[in-house]
Amino acid sequence: MLELGPMLRALMRNKIGALLIALQIALTLTIMVNAIFMMIERSAQMARPSGLDETNTFYLTNTVFAPDYNLQAALAQDLQRIRETPGVVAATQINAIPLSGGGWSMSLQNKAGDDIDGTGVAVYMVDEQGVDALGVELIAGENFAPSDIIWRDEAATEWPDKIIITKAMAEAMFDGDWNKALGQTLYINNHEPMRIVGIIKTLQAPWNGWDKVENAMLVPQQLDGRNSRFFIRTEPGRRDALMPQLEKALAESDKGRIIRSVKTMEQTRADSYREDQATYRILFTVIVVLTLITGFGIVGLAMFSINRRTRQIGTRRALGASQWQIMRYFMLENLLISTAGVVLGVAGAIGLNIWLVSSFAMKPLTPGLLIVGCFALLAVGQLAVSYPALIAARISPATATRGRA
């Protein structure tokens, strides 16, 4: 540690050079920590389970355009045709698709009355095969019976008296204890009672950015409309073959409608998180490139500084300094500069985070990540300077006697 004094004096003679590296490291840390934090947030969001059997499910939309059409009969026939197809495990008509971005939400309350605060919930209208078709797990109570299912006119506003809700919704309605929910009554449209007959583990709403994304309910209804969706679950491995097969069979069975938007749940998830995925990749690239640039910048500056000091180094070697001592000098010099940069960078990272939090609904940084970032950058600095330092260490003591190198 005896070297610190001369080292500091040498640094003071090249203040600007050292300052530039320190600033660069500070900015790199500022960006890196926030970028990594955003990446962690995004990937956590993308990793949330939808509750569905995503690998074996798909859906399609049926749009009727022919006038004078018996919707109920045709929809029942379609459903039967789908269910009888070999390879299909279960199928249901449904009004909205989880994670797709478009859906229906309502508000439920614990008591009947006009001025009572409700809790938002995503509505899925399904029949008795809904639970199986979605692949959601029923953890309490029972599924709808075929006799529970009622036709719902498009402009209707009445609701059935039985519902199945998610565990998250049950916790939201019953003080965090879902076990209390089964058999209880909730109210929709302020006054209409609905009894909870079952609870499912997880089912996400159609909107992945919603803060209550796990609040969802199943209602035993089948929409009587000119646009309808069928949600289909197949045996493992048979989905891709069944998709075109069912599309064709349905389209050809009736020319008064079109079958469109045949899409897998996996694709729906990919589309739903497409922007998050893209942002994730961009951030990753930014971090890698940024680190490389800073690293190479350190290498470049160190090389120059060593070139300029060749004679000094030679002299020190001639006066008895070992190779390791020379190397240590440059490593230590970098550590000193990097530490200053990292300290500055911590302030910068927190500052940027405060701005991001106030302007864009980001969450505050975790201190752990900040510390890891500091050490990572210090390590990058040491790694970058080690090659120039090694070259410096190899300068022959004879250089001192040789005039200019």
Binds another protein (CB under 8 A): choice among 13, 358, 361, 368: 361
Using CB under 8 A, which residues numbered 191 to 250 contact another protein? 226-227
Report which of 9, 28, 7 is spatially closest to residue 334, judged by C-alpha positions: 7
Which two three-digit tokens encode residue 66?
């022919």
Integer CA distances (angstroms), 255 to 186, 251, 357, in order: 43, 7, 54
390 binds another protein (CB under 8 A): no
281 binds another protein (CB under 8 A): yes
Which two three-digit tokens encode residue 188?
């929709």
Tell me the per-residue interface mask from 12 to 31 with another protein, x by CB under 8 A, - otherwise: ----xx--xx-xx--xx-xx
9 binds another protein (CB under 8 A): no
How many residues lie near another protein (CB under 8 A)?
A: 58
Residues 6+ positions from 228 with CB-CB distance below 8 Å: 61, 62, 75, 93
Identity of the residue, 282 or 398, whose beta carbon is nearer to another protein in the bound complex? 282
* Consecutive H or E run containing 230: strand 227-234
194 forms bridges with which residues in the sheet? Answer: 186
Report which of 189, 171, 80 is spatially closest to residue 127, judged by C-alpha positions: 80
294 binds another protein (CB under 8 A): yes
Which 3 state secondary structure label does DSSP give 131?
helix
Which 3 state secondary structure label does DSSP give 222?
strand
387 binds another protein (CB under 8 A): no
Identity of the residue, 142 or 153, whose beta carbon is nearer to another protein in the bound complex? 153
Across 112-133, b (16+ Cβ under 10 Å) vs e yields eeeeeebeebbbbbbbbbbbbb
Identity of the residue, 281 or 363, whose beta carbon is nearer to another protein in the bound complex? 281
Identity of the residue, 80 or 227, whose beta carbon is nearer to another protein in the bound complex? 227
Identity of the residue, 122 or 133, whose beta carbon is nearer to another protein in the bound complex? 122
Query: What number of H helices and E strands is found in the chain?
Result: 11, 12
Binds another protein (CB under 8 A): choice among 145, 151, 240, 260: 260
Q: Does residue 94 contact residue 126 with C-beta atoms inside 8 Å?
A: yes
Q: Which residues bind another protein (CB under 8 A)?
A: 16-17, 20-21, 23-24, 27-28, 30-31, 34-35, 38, 63, 65-67, 115, 153, 155-158, 189-190, 226-227, 258, 260, 271, 274-275, 277-279, 281-283, 286, 289-290, 293-294, 296-297, 300-301, 304-305, 307-308, 352, 355-356, 359-361, 404
